[in-house]
């Protein structure tokens, strides 16, 4: 039992060390303000120096920071502070730039600089451009700050809390007090300035919930943290527990793909819903998602779509799920279909993983092709649904998008299905597809739009990228 608990903690920690909130940086077809001639659109990706790159919305990506400034220097001229648009993107004249980012905290009296960084030189071309990476370095200064935490959990549950200083990872001695109702822990600590990793594991009757959060301590400031766990947040991690993936049989047929050509497809199965956090945990043993709490009223947290999964991650999930269900795994890397043999999932471009192949005749789970995805979104044979969105001309009927999502994901299946009985083909999260958008640049398609999209959206990204608005849906061949 102890090993299983700490395997859960370790799995959570591997995917939660990023110190900034991830949001989208996709190029959404037909949903953004047109760009004038001679201008280009960019987004910014932030990371603490030395940590894994994570996409970040350009405005307030962290609950700690209250203000960001962006100073662009073009062709060696004096720097100019530019604010992002309402969509989080920047519109710049074409040319060569660097950008300096400064992050501030609000200590009630004034803003205090907390982190800063400068990008490498980059070029802005006309139209949409690749995101720009900026490493942030904490400006913590000398001295100490306070950390006040409160963890509450259901009656009868146990909680384990650890706090580690980044980057030496030494444990801080904790002596929490019980909360007044006896079902929680609270403590105020005085700590050296810097970054820390807070790990919480709650257990009850063989069910578990956990998290890992990055905590920043600044001189003379109290950092507040509160987290509440309910019974419905606790999940069982059992290797042989049946995993229900509802699939819909999609009849074969033909359709006009885009405006260019006719595509004919054989029948196949496609997931009725996007893969949920509950399903991911049952297969993989941990939850990489950013949206792990505060579901909308009446919605089930673990039925929200899993996100912050890379294209590489989905290959592992598909083969593991196939084995659990007694199917022949679809994906083969370096001569093996066993993900344990593949090694750790890369956080960078990896030529071995890029050479993945589909095993001929296999019947296991896999990502849909772009053709399969668009065929289903349009209603199948002959594209009978001549709708603006998949299943309706009213986006609110079928999708969670920027106009109704409250800037977060939602339980799958809460909106109306399309004509083939599939839910959330538009909105909630974009969905990884098998196809490469650009073989040489190694981008892969993400289709359908997400909770932060204005309408139907599509994107492309590297196979190692993880975003809060990107998940996936499964397909497999007919037996």
| Position with higher pLDDT, 159 vs 23 | 159
User: So what's the pLDDT on residue 126?
Assistant: 87
Q: 275: Cβ–Cβ under 8 A, 6 or more apart, which residues?
A: 245, 305, 306, 317, 471, 472, 473, 474
| Rg (alpha carbons) of the chain, rounded to whole number | 23
Q: What is the distance between the alpha carbons of residues 26 and 415, in angstroms, rounded to a whole number?
A: 24
pLDDT score of 473 more than 90: yes
User: So what's the pLDDT on residue 6?
Assistant: 35
Q: What is the distance between the alpha carbons of residues 15 and 281, in angstroms, rounded to a whole number?
A: 13
Contact 429, 307 (CB under 8 A): yes
pLDDT score of 15 more than 70: no
Q: How far is CA 130 from CA 42, 46, 197, in A?
A: 7, 14, 31
| Position with higher pLDDT, 221 vs 280 | 280
Given pLDDT bands bounded at 50, 70 and 90, which one contains residue 167?
low
Q: Strand pairing partners for 313?
A: none
Q: How much is the average pLDDT of 345-350? A: 92
Domains of the chain, CATH where assigned = 39-138 (2.60.40.3540), 147-233 (2.60.40), 247-477 (3.90.1580.10)
Q: 2: Cβ–Cβ under 8 A, 6 or more apart, which residues?
A: none
Given pLDDT bands bounded at 50, 70 and 90, which one contains residue 51?
very low
Report percent pLDDT > 90 for the chain.
Answer: 37
Q: pTM of the prediction?
A: 0.54
Q: What is the distance between the alpha carbons of residues 271 and 365, in angstroms, rounded to a whole number?
A: 10
Q: What is the distance between the alpha carbons of residues 93 and 39, in angstroms, rounded to a whole number?
A: 4
User: So what's the pLDDT on residue 424?
Assistant: 94
User: So what's the pLDDT on residue 351?
Assistant: 92
User: So what's the pLDDT on residue 138?
Assistant: 65
Q: How much is the average pLDDT of 397-405? A: 91
Encoded tokens for 156: 């009868």
| Position with higher pLDDT, 313 vs 146 | 313
User: So what's the pLDDT on residue 112?
Assistant: 72
**Cis status of the peptide bond prior to 277, with omega within 30 of 0:** no
Given pLDDT bands bounded at 50, 70 and 90, which one contains residue 25?
very low
CA atoms within 13 A on the CB side of 184: 15
Total Cβ atoms within 10 A of residue 316: 20
Task: For residue range 287-298, list pLDDT tens digits in order.
Answer: 999 999 999 998
Task: For residue range 89-115, list pLDDT tens digits in order.
Answer: 889 999 999 999 887 776 555 677 777
Total Cβ atoms within 10 A of residue 248: 16
Q: How much is the average pLDDT of 28-46? A: 70
Q: What is the distance between the alpha carbons of residues 148 and 187, in angstroms, rounded to a whole number?
A: 6
User: So what's the pLDDT on residue 107?
Assistant: 57
Q: What is the distance between the alpha carbons of residues 105 and 63, in angstroms, rounded to a whole number?
A: 10
């Amino acid at each position: 039992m102890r090993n299983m608990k700490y395997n859960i903690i370790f799995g959570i920690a591997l995917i939660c060390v990023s110190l900034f909130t991830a949001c989208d940086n996709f190029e959404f077809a037909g949903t953004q303000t047109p760009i004038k001639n001679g201008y280009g659109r960019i987004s910014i990706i932030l990371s603490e120096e030395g940590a894994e790159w994570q996409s970040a919305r350009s405005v307030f990506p962290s609950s700690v920071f209250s203000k960001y400034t962006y100073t662009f220097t073009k062709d060696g001229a004096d720097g100019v502070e530019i604010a992002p648009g309402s969509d989080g993107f920047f519109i710049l004249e074409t040319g060569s730039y660097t950008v300096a980012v400064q992050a501030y905290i609000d200590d009630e009296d004034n803003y205090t600089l907390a982190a800063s960084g400068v990008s490498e030189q980059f070029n802005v071309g006309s139209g949409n451009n690749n995101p720009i990476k900026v490493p942030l370095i904490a400006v913590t200064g000398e001295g100490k700050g306070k950390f006040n935490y409160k963890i509450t959990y259901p009656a009868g549950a146990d909680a384990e809390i650890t706090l580690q200083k980044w980057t030496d990872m030494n444990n801080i001695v904790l002596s929490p007090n019980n909360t007044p109702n006896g079902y929680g822990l609270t403590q105020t600590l005085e700590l050296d300035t810097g970054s820390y990793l807070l790990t919480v594991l709650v257990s009850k009757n063989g069910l578990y919930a956990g998290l890992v959060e990055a905590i920043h301590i600044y001189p003379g400031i109290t950092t507040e943290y509160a987290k509440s766990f309910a019974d419905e947040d606790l999940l069982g991690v059992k290797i042989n527990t049946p995993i229900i993936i509802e699939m819909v049989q999609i009849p074969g047929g033909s359709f006009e793909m885009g405006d260019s050509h006719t595509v004919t497809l054989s029948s196949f199965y496609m997931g009725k819903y996007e893969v949920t956090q509950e399903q991911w945990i049952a297969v993989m043993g941990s939850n990489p998602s950013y949206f792990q709490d505060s579901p909308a009223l009446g919605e089930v947290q673990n039925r929200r779509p899993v996100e912050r999964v890379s294209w590489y991650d989905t290959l592992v999930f598909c083969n593991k799920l196939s084995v659990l269900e007694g199917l022949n795994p679809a994906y083969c890397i370096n001569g093996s279909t066993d993900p344990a043999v593949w090694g750790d999932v890369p956080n960078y471009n990896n030529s071995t993983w890029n050479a993945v192949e589909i095993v001929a005749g296999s019947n296991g789970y896999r990502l849909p092709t772009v053709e399969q995805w668009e065929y289903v979104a349009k209603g199948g044979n002959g594209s009978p649904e001549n709708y603006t969105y998949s299943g309706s001309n009213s986006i609110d009927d079928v999708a969670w998008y920027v106009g109704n999502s409250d800037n977060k994901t939602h339980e799958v299946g809460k909106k109306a299905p399309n004509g083939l009985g599939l839910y959330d083909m538009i909105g909630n999260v974009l969905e990884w597809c098998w196809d490469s958008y650009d073989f040489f640049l190694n981008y892969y398609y993400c289709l359908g739009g997400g909770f932060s999209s204005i309408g139907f959206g599509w994107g492309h990204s590297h196979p190692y990228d993880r975003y809060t608005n990107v998940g996936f849906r499964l397909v497999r061949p007919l037996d």
